[in-house]
Structure formats: C-alpha cells, structure tokens
Structure 1
Amino acid sequence: MPDGLVTASAAWLRPGFTLAVVAVFLHAGCRGPGGGDSGSIDDAPTWEVRFSHVLSTNSEFHLMAERFRDLMLERTDGRFRVVIYPSGQLGGERVAFEQIQVGAVHMAITGTPVLSGWVPETQIFDLPFLFETRDHGLSVMNGPVGDWWRDLLLERTGVRSLGFLDYGFRHVYNARRSVETPGDLAGLKLRVLQNATYLAAYSALGVQATPMNYGEVYSALQQGVIDGGEANAIGFVSSRLHEVAKFYSFTSITYNPITLLVNEAFYRELPADIRATVDRSAAEALAYQSDVARRMEADAIEEMRAAGVEMSRPDLAPFAPAVRPRIRDELADRLPDGEALIARLVSETERTVFGSR
C-alpha cells in the first residue's frame, strides 16, 4: 500500500477510537494488484470495497447500493468489487462515518443530520418546514448550496459526498393517536434523530424527543418505552414499524437529505479512469434510487393501508408558528455566521421553488 494512503487515513484518527489500529490493516487488504509483483500485463489492480448502510435489504438504500455495485463490476471488468453491509451490520451511521474516515469502510449512505456532529453548519438543512415538496428539497440539495456543503464536508473530514439520495420528508408515526393538529403531538414520546435542531424542533411542538439507535426502535415500541418516531413511509414499512405503530401522519416537519459517501484518500488513489467510472456510476445509481423511491413510497402507503394503519394528512399551516422563528434564531446563535448561512439557504429555497434556476 502506498505510504500516502496510510498518512491520509491516519490523519483523521481520534483518541480512544477503537477501530483506529485495525483500520489501516483492513484498508491495506482491500486494494492491491491482482497478480503480485511480476509486472505481467495481467496484473491489473483490483479493489475490494466495503459499502455500509443502516436499512434493510428490501430498502431503496440497498437497491441503490446494488445498482452501484453492478455498474462498477460491469464497467471495470470485475476489478472494482463492492461488498454491501446492510442493516447497520458495521454499526450505525455515526460509527460508519468514523470507519470511513479511517478507511475501515470505503463507502456508506448517511443522513446529513448525523454529520452535523462533524460539520455543525449542516444543521441549516434540518430547519423545520424548510422545503415545500420533496422535489423542492432535492433540487436545492443538488444546487449551489449542496455543492458548498459537499466541499465543506470534504475539507473538514476527508470524506467526499458523491451526491444526494431522494429520501424526502420524515413524518410522525406513533402507537397512541392520529396527529391532526400541533396539540396532538403534545406529550408523545418520540424517537428523534440525535441532532440539536431536530430535538429543539420537536420539543417546541410538545414532543418528548428521545434520541435512540434506529435498530432499537421496534423493540422500544413493542415495550412501550417510546410512543413512536419519525421516518419516511418506506423506512416505516421496510423496518416493519407498521406492525407496532398504527398511526402515521404526513407532518413533513423535517426534510432529510441523505448522501452517498466515499473515503477521499481511497477515492484519490484510484486511477483517473476508475474515479470517473465511480462518479458516473454513482450518478446513475442515485437517479435510479429516486425513481425506485417514488414507486416504493406508493407501495408502502398501500401496505400501510392494508395493515390497518390510520393515516392522516394534517393542515401544516398551524404547525409552523410553533417553530418559527424560534428554531431558526436558536440555530443562528449556535453557528458561526449563522444568520448569513440561514439567509443564504432561505434565499436559495425561494429562488428554486419559483423556478428561476
């Protein structure tokens, strides 16, 4: 393994991180010449790539990962081999991101709310009722503001974003009652992403916001530890949460950008033609995911209906005053140049929604 790769990976080691020592050795075993040191023309390099995500094998995340894997295998004549680890097998999103930084994992799918721990400015995308539709949100993330954030992530962490998935909004589900008005949220104990802006927004709406690992949510609902949580319709069904929570409300409180990530040191060491193939295959896999996600959402809603889930589409106008401008003001105070960052994002959302791009 070239010395530069070891140095780049080691640059992000953190004290106390248990994977730090093993990561370099794992990384060394993942890429190398296919046939040794003979110098033969047949000794083309090969890459064994670990790809982590937290959803099940019937999720749109996994289907996207499989499409990327198949495209890379075909376009490199089998030299770029992606091994997918679904369902958080290599850890949750936070752990997976730490593993990417040190090279123990090469690629992952991660929500931007998780990444605010490394890039606090990311929280501007978590502001409640920021986007009007999922198309609106995806358009903004694929525009100049999204490009700015991707550059910031790379600079701060050594991890590259290859683009954004089409996840959409996170909606409230629970086992107690239908949510029709802001008052219906009051007192519900909901699993909420461990993110300062998420926690503040849901707390402002009267929720007992409770951070929890995603893998623990089903059993926590079964045992009554929590009343519910927030997720898109696909995640709600693919994780079988509709079995233990019979109320789902399209509250659209938060839009959840999800991004496809790759370790920058690994990416940069790839030959130029392989990097270009990664970029092209990632773009095609992301477009495929968007198409699949729209179909899967419709199917998920039908499955919820068949399972007896009571769905509601509340008027969202009364919800916004509970969180505006309070949450925006709090976030502006927490972030360096927070007011300017939020103003820039709001300007971009307004420009995009009126179709002036």
Structure 2
Amino acid sequence: MLSTRLSRRVVIAGAGSLLAAPAIVGKAQAATTLKISTSYPNDPQFSTARIWYDLFVPRLKAATDGQITAQFFPDNQLGQEADMVNQVKLGVVDMMLVGASIWTNIVPEFGIFDLGYLFQDYDHLLRATATPAGADLEKLLVQKAGAHFPAWGRNIGARNFITKFAFTDSAGLAGRKIRSLPSPVVTETVRLMGAAATPMAFGEVYTGLQAGVIDGMEHDAPTILSAKFYETAKHFTLTRHIHTPFGAFVSDKTLQKLSSNLRDGLLQAVRETAKDQFAKAAQVELEAIDQLKQKGVTVAECDREGFRKRMQPLWDKFAQQTPGAKALLDAVHQTEKA
C-alpha cells in the first residue's frame, strides 16, 4: 500500500524541523502534513522544484500558523509524473511540483504552453494568463483533473537544447534524436525544429544519453545542471523555444479536507511562493549557464527566428484541434507587448 511505502521514504534534511514528527498546535491538535511530489532533483541551488519548496516552507508556516507542514519527495520517489497526476486527482498525493505540460493529456488546452515560440518570454506568459481566459483554464483543470493551479509560476529558465553535437539551425538537427516531453505538442515542436523527436520520461533521460539512445534533450539550464546531463552531452544551445509554467498543482480533494482558514492559508502560501520564485529565477538561470560553462559545456546562440518561422503549422493545427483554447490563444497574441 502507498501509506506503507511512504513510511519508508527518507525526507530531505533541508526542510528542517517542519519535516519532523507532526507538531502539536493549540490543545493537542496535530498538524496536517502535505505530501509533495516532484520528478525534479533534490538540488537546493539549481533544481526548480527544490528551490520552490524551500521558498514555500516558511510561507506555509506563516500563512497557516504552523498547522500545515510538508514532506518533500523529489527524484520520482513516489513514482513517475504520469502516475502522480492520478495520485493528485485521488488526493493520495497532496501537491505536485511540475511544469504544465504533464496535464496536456487530460486537459488538451494546456498544450498551448508547449507551442514552440508562442510566448516571447515569461513576462508575456504572465500577461496572457492574467486574463479571463487564463482563469477559465484553471477552472477547467479542476473539472477534468481534480487539481488546482493557484498561481502561474515559471520554470527557472526557458527550454533549450543540450546535445552531443553543435548546431545553429534546423539543418544541423536533421536525423538527431532529441528527447522531448511525452506531450504531443512538445514532440511536434521539436520535430518542426528539425530533429527526430523522441518522447521519454524524465527519469530515463540520463541513461538514454549515456547509452546513445538519444543524441540530446531539451530543458532549462538549472535542471540540466542539477540532473547532471552535462556529463554525457557538452553542447548547450540557447533555442529558448518554450516558456513553460511551473508551480504547485494542489489536489482538490486535499483542499476539500481542510477548514476554510487553512485552505485559504495554503493557497496564499502557494501564491506568495510563486512570486518569490519568479523574482529569483532569472539570476538562477544565469548562474546555471555559467556553471555549465565551467563544467566544459559549450554555450551557443542559434537562429531562433528561423526556428520560429517553422512553427505556424503547429499553431494553426492546435487551434483547429483544440477549439477550447481559442480564447487563450487570442489573449496570447493580444498581450505580446507589455
């Protein structure tokens, strides 16, 4: 049973006293402990999820007066992302720290965030999601997936390519097997860029690179660094092809179990954490790129405009196949300029 497996998990030391045995609050009232899962590594300096979690812990304590605590399970300790989506829906796992792409198979409208070169940057992403269309998408996630996304956060950097070879344009990617997220839209983005897109679970990427099953993968610089993908691939190309939302997806069943004041406190902590991380993200990305250089990785620019011009068929196809996303697509185009 899952409860038995969880009792054997080792909780990271970095969470401090909040992860100890549940505290006594008031008159013998035990604290509620949230199980937070992520596929990301347990790296406090460059792992998107660990950075988010460390910012969240003090915010959670303050917002709930210590009546809610948290346990952090990084590195797929509780299972692969696809499995955790269902566990969040069932309320077995309370929160999942992940990018928005994993929800596309349940809520196809979320595929908009995987459309290559649609967003200019993360500020553009925030402008678009702050519209009524963005709020409607959040409601759709609750209805279809039983998960809340209280704040539109961001990964610590846009998605780029790390490969075993150098390239500057689509011709240089021809025939190369590039790992993509197991999302149809991301896969098509990578294919239109010129590569042989290869969907693969995050936990299989390192061995895939090592064994030559794939020639490269795409992700943000801090994650590439913390997962040590640079050990098997030495070319980091700043394609900046996708700006994916990231943050805490909270089980609706978990929220329903909480009293109104604790529920409000938890949601407040999530929103505040998203703002904290957004402010920190740009600097962390620059530090990660610098460390990749120090580890012998070549960092290079590429023909981003050339790649962007190849994306129109993907945008058009997505609009035709996902009519429910039209309002948000319109909002994206309307908010291109600040």
Query: Under a length normalisation based on structure 1, what TM-score does the superposition of the two structures give?
Result: 0.82
Residues 1:330 and 1:353: Cα distance change in structure 2 (over 3 Å): closer
**2:19 match:** none
For residues 152-301 of structure 1, what are the structure 2 equivalents within 5 Å? 152-167=140-155, 168-177=157-166, 179-301=167-289
> Is the CA contact (8 Å cut-off) linking 1:221 and 1:228 kept in structure 2?
yes
Deviation at 1:309, TM superposition (A): 1.2
Q: CA RMSD in A?
A: 2.3
> Is the CA contact (8 Å cut-off) linking 2:247 and 2:274 kept in structure 1?
no
Stretches of structure 1 that go unaligned for 5 or more consecutive residues are: 1-18, 27-32, 36-40
Letter in 1 for 2:267: D
For residues 54-203 of structure 1, what are the structure 2 equivalents within 5 Å? 54-58=39-43, 59-167=47-155, 168-177=157-166, 179-203=167-191
Note if 1:331 corresponds to 2:314. Answer: no
Deviation at 1:235, TM superposition (A): 0.9
- Note the alpha carbon deviations across 1:175-197, whole angstroms, 9 max, x for none: 122x2112112111011011111
Letter in 1 for 2:37: S
Deviation at 1:330, TM superposition (A): 2.3
Q: Distance in 1 between matches of 2:42 and 2:212?
A: 27
Aligned length: 318
> The residue matched to 2:77 in structure 1 has which SS?
coil
> Is the CA contact (8 Å cut-off) linking 2:141 and 2:147 kept in structure 1?
yes
Letter in 1 for 2:101: P
Deviation at 1:217, TM superposition (A): 1.0
Letter in 1 for 2:41: S
**1:351 match:** 334
Identity %, equivalent residues: 27
Deviation at 1:76, TM superposition (A): 3.4
Deviation at 1:306, TM superposition (A): 1.1
> The residue matched to 2:306 in structure 1 has which SS?
coil
Residues 1:257 and 1:76: Cα distance change in structure 2 (over 3 Å): closer
Q: Distance in 2 between matches of 1:213 and 1:159?
A: 21
Stretches of structure 2 that go unaligned for 5 or more consecutive residues are: 7-21
**1:6 match:** none
Q: Distance in 1 between matches of 2:333 and 2:191?
A: 27
**1:315 match:** 303
Q: Which has the higher contact order (CA 8 A, sep 6+)?
A: 2
